[in-house]
Amino acid sequence: MSIIERMEEELLAALRDTMPSAAYIAAFPDDAGDFDMAGYDMAALVHYAGSTFDVPAGLSEPGRQSRDVRFAVLLYVRGLRGPAGSYQALQHIHQAVQNRRFCNALPTRLVAERLAGEEAGIWQWEVEVSIPTPAVAAHQIRPRTGGPLTFTQQGEQE
């Protein structure tokens, strides 16, 4: 499983712990047309939105980079106010992800939040989050050296 998939799974778990139980929470389907709001008053769908790479300030090693892994949480709700409204749901999303560590990365940051539109009485919001993590190239991952660990009982020799 890729780091993106693991981060997505942990984000989904955090949202499930924080969002109202009536909310449908899932990864965005591979075919966007497969999602249907029928039967739901609220849905939060998560998808990978890309990454940005940078060399952290103060690092002199050119091969060391940081990576901001971006995810979008798309919120679909039938109203703006009240317990099942978008304003309350947005607050739940903030509480679920802000300053949380996913996959042992640095604390998650909220990047942007915007109203994406309204269609047929369904309000659509997008919350973008960033998970800062080191970017490690495959050739920089050092394999474990040495043989397997062996254990002996006291008094035995290997």
Is the per-residue pLDDT at 90 higher than 70?
yes
Give the Cα-Cα-Cα angle 117, 71, 135 (nearest 5 degrees): 155
Mean pLDDT of 43-47: 94
- In the chain, what are the domain boundaries? 3-139
Render pLDDT for 105-158 as a digit per residue (tens, 0 to 9).
Answer: 999 999 999 999 998 889 999 999 999 988 765 555 555 565 555 555 565 555
Is the per-residue pLDDT at 58 higher than 70?
no
CA R_g for the chain: 21
Is the per-residue pLDDT at 85 higher than 60?
yes
pLDDT of 56: 64
pTM greater than 0.85 (yes/no): no
pLDDT of 53: 87
pLDDT of 148: 58
Render pLDDT for 114-127 as a digit per residue (tens, 0 to 9).
Answer: 999 998 889 999 99
The CATH number, out of the four listed (2.60.40.10, 3.40.1010.10, 3.30.2000.10, 3.40.50.10300), of the domain defined by the range 3-139 = 3.30.2000.10
Show the 3-state SS of the chain: CCHHHHHHHHHHHHHHHHCCCCCEEEECCCCHHHCCCCCCCEEEEEEEEEEEEECCCCCCCCCCEEEEEEEEEEEEECCCCCCCCHHHHHHHHHHHHCCCCCCCCCCCEEEEEEEEEEECCEEEEEEEEEEEEEECCHHHCCCCCCCCCCCCCCCCCC
Residue with tokens 């919120």: 75
Mean pLDDT of 9-29: 93
Q: How many CA atoms lie within 13 A of 8 on its CB side?
A: 20
Q: In the chain, pLDDT over 70 holds for what percent of residues?
A: 80
Give the Cα-Cα-Cα angle 23, 28, 34 (nearest 5 degrees): 95
